[in-house]
Amino acid sequence: MFGVLVGAVVFGQISDSFGRKLATLISTFGTFVGWLLVAQSRDLFQFTATRSIVGFFTGGAISVVNVYIMENIPKKHRMWINMAITWSPNMPLLAFIAWASHSWDWFAYYNAFFCIPALLFCYFFVHESPRWLIQKGRLEEARHFLTTQLSISDHHHLIDDEFEKVLLTEYEVRNNLAIKLHLKIKIQLSKNNNVSLSILQIALQQNRKKGQYSYYHLFSTYRLMLTSIVLAFSYCSTSIINYGILFNLEKLSGSIYWNSVYTGLMRYACNLTFGYADLKFHRVGRKFVHTSGLVVVLISLAVVISAYYFEMNHELNMVITILILLASSMTSQIYIADGIVANELFPTPIRNLGYSFVQLWNRVGVIFSPIVFYLVRKDMIQKVL
């Protein structure tokens, strides 16, 4: 998990500096190689080291792919597409692969195999994010990809308007200082005819060269700082709940494989329901989805804690299992809502940095989740209550 944490940070910087596609290709290929190395492990040290390599590239892929998706989906369709195309359906598939593998090394080989189509598809069919290209000043490439996108979707009449709209929006954010400088020099030009127009071009170029961003810029303004802290806390607390449950699935009644299948199916059912509601009802937005998930999680865990406190856990064994799986399932809505909000609130130049930062705290929550759940015992709960 430490590898995932570091990978999210490193690939956030790589993505914002060198592009979403290159970062995705590197992380996918690294994951493929990492799983092959895992399968060849001969002792615990090798296994831990190679799994850390897999975690490093997996953390990078997670931090980059979600940003790329958000930059290519219209605002109206972001929620339902993220709800429909998510990792929840993979849980039943992963449980089946784990059951069919019969050994950990073959499970690693299967995981490596599934990286191959993803790598080929990304290389041949996925283009660079137009927003990132515009932010880097590669306007002709951005125009080409936008034209291709709108042609495929049969929106030829929007090609010019759409490009200019995105272009102006991104430049207002990316070159805010340059715009101010542009106005200042225009005033100078109107007052002093001896000032050459080339001075304006040189000044704008120098200003753009200075526009290199790092994690420091996430805290450069009060609003950005507040956004970063709130989303980081939400991710961290949600991961403590979610992974604390997933790491202890064997303690629930029933098979760990079937419990994983049930969790994945429940998550996907909730995802499709909220995705449809967001598309059809205007009052259902990011805040509603996030709050609904929190309420269900709180109620479910409150009932479970009460059952253990009043020593009714044996009579309500099946109910407790369902409620715990439901609580874990509803965290999926919180993750998706947080991810969409992060990608919508962080401007393009620091979008991947911002998302990588909150993913960092997501992994911190994963690291702390088993510690919290192992420390909490029945007698401790009784003392608190």
pLDDT at 341: 86
pLDDT at 193: 44
pTM comes to 0.63
Percent of the chain residues past pLDDT 90, beyond the cut: 10
What the chain holds in terms of domains, given with CATH numbers, is 2-126+213-384 (1.20.1250.20)
pLDDT band, very low/low/confident/very high, at 207 (cuts 50, 70, 90): very low
Please give the Cα distance from 323 to 319 (Å, whole number): 6
What the block records as the tokens of 46 is 């090798």
Average pLDDT, the chain: 77
Q: Are 141 and 129 in contact (CB under 8 A)?
A: no
Highest mean pLDDT, choosing among 293-297, 314-318, 369-373: 293-297
* Per-residue pLDDT tens digits for 110-124: 999 989 998 998 888
- Indicate whether 357 pLDDT > 70: yes
pLDDT at 311: 83
Look at 54 and 372; give whichever has higher pLDDT: 54
Look at 70 and 240; give whichever has higher pLDDT: 240
pLDDT band, very low/low/confident/very high, at 186 (cuts 50, 70, 90): very low
Q: How confident is the model over 232-243, as a mean pLDDT?
A: 88
Look at 285 and 224; give whichever has higher pLDDT: 224
Q: How confident is the model over 265-292, as a mean pLDDT?
A: 82
- For residue 273, the surrounding DSSP H or E stretch is helix 256-280
pLDDT band, very low/low/confident/very high, at 204 (cuts 50, 70, 90): very low
- Indicate whether 155 pLDDT > 90: no
Count, in order, helices (H) and strands (E) of the chain.
17, 0
Please give the Cα distance from 181 to 184 (Å, whole number): 5
* Per-residue pLDDT tens digits for 53-112: 998 998 888 878 877 877 777 777 777 777 777 777 777 788 788 888 888 889 899 999
pLDDT at 229: 92
- Indicate whether 226 pLDDT > 60: yes
Please give the Cα distance from 149 to 147 (Å, whole number): 6
Q: How far apart are the first and last CA of the chain?
A: 33
Please give the Cα distance from 28 to 14 (Å, whole number): 14
Q: Are 331 and 241 in contact (CB under 8 A)?
A: yes
pLDDT band, very low/low/confident/very high, at 175 (cuts 50, 70, 90): low
What the block records as the tokens of 218 is 């996430």
* DSSP characters over 179-224: HHHHHHHHHHHHH-TTS-HHHHHHHHHHHHHT----GGGGGSSHHH
